[in-house]
Every structure is written in structure tokens, then in C-alpha cells.
């Protein structure tokens, strides 16, 4: 078709424009154009002050719950020694504080929890990286690790008592069996979610296996790893309480779990409640003071915080 | 050292070949645009050149120190600042540990200046615009200091004004550094704008079916450039239409 040919022979006007040298301009103009675009398109730095709703809302929620509790108790459905009110528990807390018992219990448990957790991190991190990076190992041990995470770590208490007796060894063993699998699993799932392109970039940039693991895979997996650490801490803390409730006496020190068990033996509901609240408080404080700031910072630096309700 | 491809072929598993009998020679310091429709195996060819994938047949000659690579999206590491991204590339490229941290920092600053981003080194990728991210990525690929630079549609996702700017910038940097560049694109105008030579890759299987030289005349005369763009576009469409039935 001759008509078709002539149409094609004349280049589209658009293309003549783009390749036109006149559009290239002089270098200075281009620098300004570029600088202008950069200014327009990049984010301005926003600095926020203290966000009071972050403090006031949780406090308000707490007040509401305590008031509801007080209201229920004041209705008098149950005997006061079975369901103590907030004031009774607070009073008991004061008594325990006076005796120095609550401080001792919190200190003992916290120390063990933190030490157990740190040992777990040191053991689980290289194992997790190894499992995530080496396919045969992952295939061989992956199901076992997942299974260990599902197994309640309390199940290890009887075994631990037989092996280690009533010593701190028992407590640490149970804590480690609880925390290590969940940290490994968190790290593995963090590695699984890395965009494959990061590995290609690493290969192209010439990273060897160790550099790939430490400088690319580990930082890329950090959000998932942090999730694993949080869960690992939760498992440490829970396993610790379970171990302390069951294994009492011997050379095992007096922790929050022991306090709880003592309350049960004495049928002292106020002590039981005080111990539960102390366990809860430690959990909340660790989350608020340790994990939340790290997580916020991590997400913020990667630009993942926009639109989240955190 | 040139890049030579001889009867290069690639297939994934038992499927139809993605690349078949690809022949090309790219001289040192040359800027070659590799043009083809989407899905013609351009990226696969580039991955083979980069050593990310192995060819299933044929021979391949590339510089022994490998190639620098620039991806379609910037592929910067989001946990590092722009500067740290470049410094990491410098560190990983330095297998013999011959450089110090301070010398790498100085080199990173030079590279940031080269792409006109001297002031943005401390920003993280998400704080930069798409064009700025691609410039950081370009600086990072230059940090590798390899003679061969492979670019996989690096400007495809950018707006027209930014793309024009980056074309100028890439041309300037190519002239300043004397790299051999293989630039993959599906945009004919971009290929004519940048390449000294345009190679057309057919689809399924990918094979070099035509090539054009872009002369100095095409660069200065918009009419001639437009003509060449028209010719190449026609040939590309013909190639795509073959698959209609």
C-alpha cells in the first residue's frame, strides 16, 4: 500500500522533538532544571514534637479498666478475699514492697529473663542465618524448628528438673528452649521476604558469601528478625514464669513465678493479683522502652511508617 | 577488551528458547542500545552478560573483572543512606581490602558530585525522588569501577522531563568515564538518543535481527534522527506483528 508507506516514511512529529538538539539546552540551564526537580520531588524533613496522644491514650485506657474493676468489686457479687479490688491489690503491693519481696522477685526474674534472652539471641542468630542460606540444612531442620516453636516450653520443665535439679540451669534451659526456635523462625521468615533483587545486587556488586549474609541478607531481613526477637522475648518471659511456678526451692532464687506460687499456697488472692500485675508490667515496659523505639526507628528509616497506626 | 557473543542461546528448563544464536561484538568504550519488545529476552541477555545467569549454549567473552549493573528500579538498599549505598559498593568491589574507609568516603562524595547529588548523600532512598534514586544507582554502578556497564531499562519508570535530563547526564558521564555501555530499552527514541549503535532483538526466540549506526549527523540533525527513529520503529513493529498469528 503506497499510502501507508508515505505515512511511515515521515517520522512522527513527536520523535523529532525529543531527539532535537535544541531541547538539550546548555549545561547550566540543565543543572538548574535538575536542581528544581530534585527540590520539588524529594520529601521535606518533618520534625514532630512529643506526641501526647501516645502517652495519654494508654493511661486513659488503664484508668477505664481499673474503674470498671472497682465498679464490679463494689457490686459485691463475690467475696472480697476471692476477688480483691484495685485498692486491696495496691495495698498488698505496698506490703510486699515494704518487705522487699516484690523488688527481689522482679529483679531475679528480669535478670534471668534478659540473660536467657541474650544467650538465645547469640545462639539463634547464626543458626537462623545458616538455615536460611543453606538449602539442605533448611529442608532438614526447618520442620523441626517450626515444631519446637509450637511445643509449649513448659513441657521441658520435668525433663529439665531431672537433668539439672532445682538449679538455675533448669530455668535457663526452659527459657532457651522457648526463645531460640522463635528467634530462628523470625529470622528465617525475614530472610524469605527479602526481595530477590537484593541478592542480585549483592552478586553484581561482588559480595562473597559472608559479606552477602552479614551486609545484605541480615540488614534486609531486620524487620522480620526484630519480629522474631520480640516473639523470642515473649517466649523467654513466659517460659521463665512457667519454670518458676513449677520449679520452686533448691538453689532457684525467688522470682515473680515463685511469688505467684507462694500466693496460691497461702490462698492470698491479693498477692496473686499483685504478682500477675507485676509480670504484666514488666512485659509492657520492655515492649515500650526497648522494642517499640527500635522498631519505630527501623521502620521510619526505611520509609515504612507512613500511614501506619503505630 | 571487547564483549563478544557467539551463537549464544538460553532456555529455561524444557521450554522454548528465550535466546537463540545471538551474535554481537561490542567494542571497548562503545555505547550500544539493545532494543526489543517487552518479553524478548533483553533482560535475560543482560543477566548473562552480568554473570547472573548461565547461557545454555554458545560462547561469551566478557571482561574478566565482570560488569557493573544498573537495574530498572534503583534497587538501592533501603536501610542505607545514598552515600552508604555507594560506599558499600566501593567496599564490596575492593576484595583485596586495599582502600581505607576514609578514601572510600571521599570517592563516594566524588561520585555523588558526578551525578549532581552532592547535597543528598545523607538521605535515605525513600526520601529521594525516582530520578534522584536512579542517579544514586548510577553512581553506585560507577563505584564498581568496571569497564563494562550494563543498564536494564534504567529510566523506564521516570517522567519525561526527568528522563530527558538523565539522558543528557548519562551521555556526559559516558564521555567523561569512557565506559563500555550496553543499554537495554524498549523505547526507540531512547535507543537513538543514547546509542552509537542500535541492535534490534527479535522476540521468541531472541536474536539480533538488525542493527543501525547512529552517526554524529543523527545527533545534530533532528530530521535525520527522526527518520532513523521511524525506520527502526517500523522494523520493530514488523517484528512484533510476526507474532500476531
How does pLDDT run across A170-186, given as a tens digit for each residue?
Answer: 889 999 998 999 999 99
The predicted structure's pLDDT at residue A16: 38
Q: Which residue of A has its CA nearest to B194?
A: A19
The predicted structure's pLDDT at residue B57: 81
Select from A35, A205, A301 the Cβ nearest to the Cβ of B92. A205
For chain A positions 130-159, those within 8 Å of chain B (CB to CB) are none
On whether any CB of chain B is under 8 Å from the CB of A3, the answer is no
The predicted structure's pLDDT at residue A18: 42
Q: Are A240 and A113 in contact (CB under 8 A)?
A: yes
Q: How confident is the model at residue A204 (pLDDT cuts 50, 70, 90)?
A: confident
pLDDT in tens, B29-88: 888 888 887 777 778 888 888 888 888 887 787 777 778 888 888 888 988 888 889 988
Sheet holding B57-61, edge to edge: B19-26, B3-10, B57-61
pTM of the model: 0.75
Q: How confident is the model at residue A5 (pLDDT cuts 50, 70, 90)?
A: very low
Mutation for B interface: A24, A40, A204, A299, most B CBs within 10 A: A204
The predicted structure's pLDDT at residue A3: 42
For chain A positions 202-241, those within 8 Å of chain B (CB to CB) are 202-208, 211, 215-216, 219-220, 222
Q: Percent of chain A at pLDDT above 90?
A: 18
> Is it the case that residue B25 has pLDDT exceeding 90?
no
CA distances from B180 to A23, B66, B200 (A): 26, 12, 18
Q: How confident is the model at residue B211 (pLDDT cuts 50, 70, 90)?
A: confident
The predicted structure's pLDDT at residue A78: 78
Select from B69, B127, B162 the Cβ nearest to the Cβ of A42. B127
**Chain centre distance of CA A94:** 32
CA distance B229 to chain A (A): 7
What is the residue extent of each domain of chain B? 3-66+146-244, 77-145
B88 or B22: which leads in pLDDT: B88
The predicted structure's pLDDT at residue A115: 93
The predicted structure's pLDDT at residue A234: 92
Mutation for A interface: B50, B159, B198, B229, most A CBs within 10 A: B229
Nearest one of A174, A159, A165 to A242, comparing CA atoms: A174
Taking the C-alpha atoms of residue B106 and residue B93, their distance in angstroms, rounded to an integer, is 16
Select from B128, B129, B230 the Cβ nearest to the Cβ of A9. B230
- Look at residue B20 and give its three-state secondary structure: strand
Q: Are A116 and A153 in contact (CB under 8 A)?
A: no
Q: How confident is the model at residue A309 (pLDDT cuts 50, 70, 90)?
A: low
- Cβ <8 Å between B230 and A33: no
- How many CB pairs below 8 Å do chains A and B form together? 134
**What is the secondary structure of B83-112 as a DSSP string?**
HHHHHHHHHHH-TT--S-HHHHHHHHHHHH
Average pLDDT over residues A196-211: 85
Sheet holding B31-35, edge to edge: B67-70, B148-152, B180-185, B31-35, B197-201, B208-213
Q: How confident is the model at residue A9 (pLDDT cuts 50, 70, 90)?
A: very low
Taking the C-alpha atoms of residue A21 and residue B78, their distance in angstroms, rounded to an integer, is 37
Select from B88, B132, B192 the Cβ nearest to the Cβ of A19. B192
> Is it the case that residue A158 has pLDDT exceeding 50?
yes
The predicted structure's pLDDT at residue A180: 92
Q: Dihedral of the CA atoms A208, A212, A213, A219 (nearest 10)?
A: 160
- Cβ <8 Å between A201 and B126: no
Q: Dihedral of the CA atoms A74, A76, A77, A82 (nearest 10)?
A: 90
CATH architecture of B3-66+146-244: 3-Layer(aba) Sandwich (3.40)
Phi, psi angles (nearest 5°) of residue A149: -70, -30
Taking the C-alpha atoms of residue A50 and residue A164, their distance in angstroms, rounded to an integer, is 49
pLDDT in tens, B108-163: 888 888 878 888 888 888 888 888 888 888 888 888 878 888 888 888 877 787 78
pLDDT in tens, A95-145: 888 888 888 889 989 999 999 999 999 999 999 989 988 889 988 988 898
pLDDT in tens, A82-94: 888 888 888 888 9
**Chain centre distance of CA B127:** 24
Taking the C-alpha atoms of residue A172 and residue A113, their distance in angstroms, rounded to an integer, is 8
Q: Which residue of B has its CA nearest to A198?
A: B75
Q: How confident is the model at residue B198 (pLDDT cuts 50, 70, 90)?
A: confident
- Look at residue B80 and give its three-state secondary structure: coil
Spell out which residues of chain B touch residue A208, defining contact as CB-CB under 8 Å: 95
Please work out, in degrees rounded to the nearest 5, the angle formed at the alpha carbon of residue A16 by the alpha carbons of A12 and A20.
170
- Cβ <8 Å between B71 and A222: no
B203 or A268: which leads in pLDDT: A268
The predicted structure's pLDDT at residue A126: 92
Nearest one of B18, B26, B28 to B174, comparing CA atoms: B28
Q: Are B33 and B199 in contact (CB under 8 A)?
A: yes
Q: By mean pLDDT, which of A7-11, A267-271, B52-56 is the weakest? A: A7-11
> Is it the case that residue A231 has pLDDT exceeding 60?
yes
Mutation for A interface: B89, B126, B145, B176, most A CBs within 10 A: B126
Taking the C-alpha atoms of residue A205 and residue A53, their distance in angstroms, rounded to an integer, is 45
Q: How confident is the model at residue A4 (pLDDT cuts 50, 70, 90)?
A: very low
Query: E strand or H helix at B59, and its extent?
Result: strand B57-61
Residues in chain A: 310
Q: By mean pLDDT, which of A35-44, A176-185, B236-245 is the weakest? A: A35-44
Q: By mean pLDDT, which of A161-165, A229-233, B190-194 is the weakest? A: B190-194
On whether any CB of chain B is under 8 Å from the CB of A41, the answer is yes
CA distance A208 to chain B (A): 8
Q: By mean pLDDT, which of A14-28, A74-88, A242-256, B19-33 is the weakest? A: A14-28
Amino acid at each position: 500500500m503506497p499510502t501507508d508507506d508515505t505515512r511511515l516514511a515521515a517520522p512522527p512529529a513527536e520523535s523529532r522533538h525529543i531527539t532535537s538538539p535544541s531541547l538539550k539546552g546548555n549545561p547550566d540551564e540543565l543543572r538548574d532544571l535538575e536542581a528544581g526537580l530534585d527540590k520539588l520531588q524529594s520529601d521535606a524533613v518533618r520534625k514532630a514534637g512529643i506526641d501526647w496522644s501516645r502517652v495519654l491514650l494508654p493511661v486513659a485506657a488503664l484508668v477505664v479498666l481499673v474503674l470498671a474493676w472497682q465498679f464490679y468489686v463494689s457490686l459485691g457479687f463475690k467475696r472480697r478475699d476471692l476477688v480483691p479490688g484495685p485498692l486491696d491489690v495496691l495495698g498488698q503491693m505496698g506490703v510486699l514492697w515494704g518487705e522487699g519481696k516484690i523488688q527481689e522477685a522482679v529483679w531475679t526474674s528480669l535478670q534471668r529473663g534478659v540473660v536467657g534472652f541474650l544467650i538465645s539471641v547469640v545462639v539463634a542468630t547464626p543458626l537462623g542465618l545458616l538455615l536460611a542460606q543453606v538449602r539442605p540444612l533448611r529442608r532438614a531442620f526447618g520442620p523441626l524448628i517450626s515444631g519446637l516453636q509450637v511445643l509449649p516450653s513448659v513441657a521441658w520443665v520435668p525433663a529439665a528438673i531431672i537433668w539439672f535439679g532445682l538449679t538455675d540451669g533448669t530455668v535457663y534451659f526452659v527459657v532457651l528452649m522457648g526463645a531460640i526456635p522463635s528467634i530462628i523462625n523470625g529470622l528465617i521468615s525475614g530472610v524469605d521476604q527479602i526481595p530477590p533483587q537484593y541478592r542480585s545486587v549483592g552478586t553484581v556488586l561482588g559480595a562473597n558469601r559472608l559479606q552477602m549474609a552479614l551486609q545484605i541478607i541480615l540488614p534486609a531481613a531486620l524487620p522480620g528478625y526484630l519480629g522474631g526477637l520480640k516473639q523470642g522475648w515473649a517466649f523467654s518471659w513466659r517460659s521463665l514464669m512457667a519454670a518458676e511456678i513449677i520449679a520452686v526451692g533448691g538453689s532457684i532464687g525467688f522470682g515473680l513465678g515463685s511469688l505467684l506460687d507462694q500466693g496460691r499456697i497461702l490462698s492470698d488472692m491479693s498477692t496473686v493479683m499483685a504478682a500477675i500485675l507485676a509480670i504484666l508490667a514488666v512485659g509492657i515496659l520492655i515492649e515500650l522502652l526497648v522494642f517499640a523505639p527500635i522498631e519505630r526507628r527501623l521502620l521510619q528509616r526505611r520509609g515504612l511508617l507512613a500511614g501506619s497506626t503505630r | 577488551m571487547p564483549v563478544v557473543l557467539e551463537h549464544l542461546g538460553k532456555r529455561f528448563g524444557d521450554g522454548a528458547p528465550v535466546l537463540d544464536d545471538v551474535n554481537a561484538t561490542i567494542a571497548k568504550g562503545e555505547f550500544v542500545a539493545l532494543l526489543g519488545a517487552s518479553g524478548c529476552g533483553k533482560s535475560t541477555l543482560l543477566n548473562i552478560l552480568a554473570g547472573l545467569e548461565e547461557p545454555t549454549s554458545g560462547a561469551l567473552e566478557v571482561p574478566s573483572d565482570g560488569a557493573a549493573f544498573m537495574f530498572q528500579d534503583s534497587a538501592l538498599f533501603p536501610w542505607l543512606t545514598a552515600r552508604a549505598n555507594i560506599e558499600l559498593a566501593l567496599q564490596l568491589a575492593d576484595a583485596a581490602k586495599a582502600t581505607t574507609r576514609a578514601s572510600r568516603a571521599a570517592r563516594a562524595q566524588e561520585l555523588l558530585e558526578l551525578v549532581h547529588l552532592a547535597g543528598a548523600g545523607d538521605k535515605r532512598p525513600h526520601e529521594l525522588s525516582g530520578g534522584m534514586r536512579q542517579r544514586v544507582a548510577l553512581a553506585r554502578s560507577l563505584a564498581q569501577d568496571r569497564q563494562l556497564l550494563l543498564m536494564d531499562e534504567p529510566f523506564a519508570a521516570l517522567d519525561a522531563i526527568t528522563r530527558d535530563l538523565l539522558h543528557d547526564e548519562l551521555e556526559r558521564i559516558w564521555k567523561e568515564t569512557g565506559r563500555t555501555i550496553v543499554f537495554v530499552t524498549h523505547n526507540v527514541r531512547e535507543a537513538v538518543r543514547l546509542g552509537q549503535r542500535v541492535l534490534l532483538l527479535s522476540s521468541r526466540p531472541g536474536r539480533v535481527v538488525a542493527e543501525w549506526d547512529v552517526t554524529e549527523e543523527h545527533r545534530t540533525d533532528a530530521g535525520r534522527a527522526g527518520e532513523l527513529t521511524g525506520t527502526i520503529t517500523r522494523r520493530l513493529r514488523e517484528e512484533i506483528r510476526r507474532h500476531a498469528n
